[in-house]
Amino acid sequence: MISGFAYFRAAAAGVLVAISAAPAQAQGYPFSERGGVTQMVAFTEISVAYGRPAARGRALFGALVPWDSVWHPGADSATRVRFSRDVLIEGRPLRAGEYSLWLIPHEAGPWTVIFSSAAHVFHKPYPGARFDVLRVDVTPEQASQMDSFAIYFPMVLRDEAVLRLHWGTTAVPLRIKAPFRPPS
């Protein structure tokens, strides 16, 4: 026979299990998984942390992602890029540090890539031009279909690399130069 206290304790434990399991079941899997990539280029470590939204048959650029508006490439928390040393992005200097990454896609012509000093922000709203550290224009490329958004390094050669942002059939290549100097 179970005493009153033991019965109460068992009932309370059952309620706690039911309560703690309910949010996990209700939440389910995230719509956009987290991803990341780290690459050494010469003596510079470059790391990217981002959300990977899936196209799931949706029209992307010019529809889900409007033309001529600031867009966060990824999902959830803003995409963060960290450089352990100073680099050149498309020939323009960028100091070592951590940045959030933003794009302005254009229907015709180059797209604008923005590095913002507001590194730890959510993907909306854009933190504003006052936090912009660097803006470069890059011509997007046609690429093979990629359902889940991806950021990767298709080319690394000594002190140069290409960082590619790829979703659907569109890829945005960023040319990075990391001056070849041994650490002092």
Q: Would you state the pLDDT for residue 17? A: 42
What lies within 8 Å, CB to CB, of 134 at 6+ separation is: 89, 92, 94, 114, 115
- Reported as a pLDDT band with limits 50, 70 and 90, residue 18 is very low
Q: What average pLDDT does the segment 123-143 reach?
A: 92
Range of the domain at 9: 1-30
pTM: 0.81
3-state secondary structure of 104: strand
Number of structural domains in the chain: 2
Candidates 120, 118, 44, 39; CA nearest to 83 is: 44
**Residues 85 and 12 reside in one and the same domain:** no
163, 116 contact by CB (below 8 A):
no
Query: In this structure, is residue 9 part of a structural domain?
Result: yes
In degrees and rounded to multiples of 5, residue 177 shows phi and psi of: -120, 125
What lies within 8 Å, CB to CB, of 69 at 6+ separation is: 104
**Residues 9 and 56 reside in one and the same domain:** no
**Residues 42 and 9 reside in one and the same domain:** no
Query: In this structure, is residue 143 part of a structural domain?
Result: yes
Task: Report residue 83 as tokens.
Answer: 């450089």
Q: Which residue has the higher pLDDT, 4 or 100?
A: 100
141, 173 contact by CB (below 8 A):
yes
What is the percent of the chain where pLDDT is above 70? 80
Q: Which residue has the higher pLDDT, 92 or 63?
A: 92
What lies within 8 Å, CB to CB, of 26 at 6+ separation is: none
Query: In this structure, is residue 112 part of a structural domain?
Result: yes
Please give the torsion angle defined by the CA atoms of residues 66, 165, 30 and 124, in that order, rounded to the nearest 10 degrees: -40
